[in-house]
Amino acid sequence: MPVILFQHPFDPLEVLHEQTPRMGLAPAAYGASDIFIGTMRDHNEGDDVRAMTLQHYPGMTERQLLSLIEDTKEQFGIQAALIVHRVGQINPGETIVLTATWSAHRKAAFDANRYLMETLKSTAPFWKKETLADGTERWVEKNTPGF
């Protein structure tokens, strides 16, 4: 499955190792793969952050991410892509997202993964609520710019 949502911490390299053979690619079919791993920071907008809750709409979120993968494959001519994302309670230092792309050549793999991650950040139906060090909570209204 090219889209996986976890409610618990995951090891991105272990997931990548498990999922790569399931992507339907023969080992000699691709010449490049590119991965991005995003982790939760302990600060945002000048404040210390103790935790974050990431909400989503089950079903809708997965469909949108699958559509993003198909768009990315078509636009960049890559062979496969993977999105693994956390939902629920996340603590600083834990992995939030893993994206990976496979292609015949490195340029397409790099470009496709950058597009995949930046589009995910700006369009995927996820909502973040931070818990600050003083115990107050706030919704994250914007992501940091990527492109």
Q: What is the pLDDT of residues 13-26, one digit of tens each?
A: 999 999 998 888 88
Q: What is the crossing angle of helices 106-123 and 60-76, to 10°? A: 150
Residue 69 has pLDDT above 90, yes or no: yes
Residue 27 has pLDDT above 90, yes or no: no
Residue 11 has pLDDT above 90, yes or no: yes
Residue 143 has pLDDT above 90, yes or no: no
Q: What are phi and psi of 137, to 5 degrees?
A: -120, 150
Residue 146 has pLDDT above 70, yes or no: no
Predicted confidence at residue 50, as pLDDT, reads 98
The DSSP call for residue 72 is H
Question: Domains in the chain and their CATH numbers?
Answer: 3-13+32-139 (3.90.1170.40)
Asked which of 16-20, 83-87, 143-147 is least confident by mean pLDDT, the reply is 143-147
| pTM of the predicted model as reported, rounded to 2 decimal places | 0.94
